[in-house]
Every structure is written in C-alpha cells, then in structure tokens.
Structure 1
Amino acid sequence: MNKPAPDQQTAAIEARLFKDTSAYQDIMDLPRPVSKHHWPLPAADHAGQFAPFAALTGYHQLINEVAERYSHKNYPDELSTKRIERKLLAIKPLLPLRLKVEYFNGDSGYYETIAGTATQLDFRRGRLMLTRKQEWELIIANLRKVTVVTRK
C-alpha cells in the first residue's frame, strides 16, 4: 500500500480540519496588522508571554515539602476516628475543660502533645479551640488522643 507524500498528508489533514475557508478569502493574504499606537514587542518579551504562569513557580517544590512533612502522619482508621468523635461529643457539654491532646502538627510534620483548656468545639468546621498562654485552633481530624485532665 502506497503512503501519500508528506505534502499530500498535510493537505488531506487541512482539508478535513478546514473544510470551508471561503468566508476568510478576503483577509487570508493581507499583511500582519501594525499598531499605530504601540511599538512592537521585543522578541524576548513576546516569547515571555507564552512562558509558564509565574505564580506556579516553586509549586511542585512546595507540594513535595508538604508531602515530606505529612509522610510522618498516621491516618486513623474509622474505628479510631469514631472513638475520638465520641469522646469529643461527651466533652462538649462540659466545656471549658482542661485537656491533654496528642495531635499531628502539619507545620512540624510530627505528633505533638499539648495540655490546655478546651474552650470551644466546632464540629461543623472540624476545630477544637485550646487555650494555653495563647489560643490554639486544632483540626479535629489531626487528633490522635484526647485525655481529660481536670474540670475547670
């Protein structure tokens, strides 16, 4: 079977893609428009507008850094998650209450323990507010262990 020559292939593809260009015949051979109000872009600037979006510079590096930090996190199974939720539901009516919580700190990438006074529990936002010299907003999904220390 004979293959068509590359020029014939190109012509065949163009014929399929651009079936009817008759509506554009009046502008097809016109020279490129030149602005009377703006200088043409230098070649380097013209090419720069096609460069990758600058806001994404370093994005992949950031993703890799966060992935490295979260590599230490143990994601709880459903039973552990339900256990923490039940404990928090029992604690909520008793607030304010002194607690000791073990939680995953996304900034450090490790589990940390902190003791303080639980002042607010917001299940809708998934947050536990804990006060100890400063106010901490802990993500409920990052809690691994909750222990009641004393009632305030």
Structure 2
Amino acid sequence: MSVYGKFESAEKKYKDIIDLPHPTSRKHPRMSLEARAAQFAPFAALTGHKEELQEERRLTKHKIIQDEGYREELDYALDHICQSEGEICIRCEYFVADKEKDGGDYKIATGIFKRIDSETNHLVLKDGMEIPVEDIVELEEIEDPTLDNV
C-alpha cells in the first residue's frame, strides 16, 4: 500500500469529524500566539555561563612598580608643572585597578593641569578628572591642541 493509499483510508476513517470547527473550551480562554511560542523558546540552563567565560578570558595587566629613581623623575615633573605659570596641557599615563580581578589596565589622559589635591594626593585636571599620583607611570607637558598657534 502506498503512502497515498494510507492517507485515503485515514480520510475515510475520520470523515465524520474532519470538517468540524476547532473545539474551544468554556473554562479556559485561547492562549495567545506569544504565550504558545514561549513554550517552545530555547531554554538556557547555564544562565550567565557565557559572561563568566568572557570575564575569565579578559586579560589584565600587572601594575608596574617603579624604582626610586623613576619616582624622583616623576616628582620633578610634577613639581615643574605645579610651579609653571598659566595653563599647562599634560599627557598622563596611569594605572587603573580592575574591580573584578587582579591587575588592571593603563589609561592615558590629556588635559589642562589644575592642581594637586594635597588631601587625596590626586592630580586634578581642569575638566574635573582626578588621577591618584601613586598610579601615575608617565607624565609629560604637551602642546595644547585646542589653542591656535598663530
């Protein structure tokens, strides 16, 4: 018997109910298409696992501890900037500790030097950014790109 023959026999068997309307319950309202689709949505058994793996793969850098000679050079550069007249544009590379794991990353900030906050021991830029002096690894005076050199 062919597949088509099986279909014909099934059609004959259910001929009395095949054209009836779909039954609806009086107790339970019809489920919306969104609710029906949600039943077949993929199940995430390991919620957050992908993010944990990404965090584990993320690399951090170790903080470089400078020797005493380099710290003296940095102190001299800070002293020179503090004593200078007028606005001085600086470029500062500093270490930012990672909140999640050991190590961190090095960032670069450029801006106009405002002051050294003696209470917090932070270098303060004109835009309000504060950088802990002990985290600074490089400091240099640069030409201010916003000024017109005419």
Q: TM-score, normalised by structure 2?
A: 0.47
Larger radius of gyration: 2
